[in-house]
Amino acid sequence: MPIHPTAIVDKSCEISNDASIGPYCIIGPHTKIGSETILDSHINVQGWTSIGARCRFFSHCSVGTDPQDLKYKGERTYLEIGDDNIFREFVSLNRGTEEGGGTTVIGKNNFFMAYSHIAHDSIVGNHIIMANAATLAGHVTVEDHATVGAFSAVHQFCRVGTHAFIGGFSVVTRDALPFIKTVGDRNQAKIYGINTLGLQRKNFPVQTIKELKLAYRICFRSGLNTADALVRAKETEWTAPEVGILLEFMEQSERGFIR
């Protein structure tokens, strides 16, 4: 286990023999670091933090620090990070809060660009991209394959649907729909159709994209209110399961969704 002599590592840590801890890193108590994970330099890992295998942390990341919540009084809370994630410079990841479930969760194969932030009790899925300075407030859920653009902010308790695309500098105060492009600032975010290019790059079938576009037109361009649009959409026969995911997301939205 290569640990640079300038690193400070608490004796209670569980660090894999083939992990790498670079210069001036600080590894606090009760942390776990998985196989082949690399911490470059000046990285602070604190709290009850568990890091999976083959993660890469670039310099000056802040990992597992106390939640930025005034209700937090020092209770034991957690940060769980899966395998194969990349965290670029100055990324910050907070542990959960007792009232919020106690755990912040990050899945696998995600890419977090410089200065992005994951706040307490957020749940981040797999294959997600957060661009530079993208920010999740507390209790946010981001589903698999979503993209959050640079300098965008997602309000607490919001959901970002699977394969959603949030454009740069967007302010998201309600749920962001799956498979759809959401863009806008100053609480004026709007949807701009199915994320066709993104889905094509991910090899979605032509028929699936066609049906998602039709469902989009029924739900958002037909002039019907949400309840009536959902009824009409459900009466239509679909072969693509992704349409069902979109309609279910709309029905289950508690904060309302951007449209």
- Count other C-beta atoms under 10 Å from residue 202's C-beta: 11
Catalytic residue among 42, 60, 120, 163: 120
Number of H helices, E strands in the chain: 4, 27
- Whether the CB-CB separation of 189 and 160 falls below 8 Å is answered with no
Separation of alpha carbons 73 and 81, rounded Å: 23
Catalytic residue among 138, 149, 167, 184: 138
- 66 flagged as catalytic: no
Catalytic residue among 121, 155, 175, 184: 121
Rounded (10°) angle between helices 241-252 and 206-220: 30
- Whether the CB-CB separation of 138 and 117 falls below 8 Å is answered with no
- Whether the CB-CB separation of 57 and 44 falls below 8 Å is answered with no
- 138 flagged as catalytic: yes
- 120 flagged as catalytic: yes
User: Known catalytic residues?
Assistant: 120-121, 138
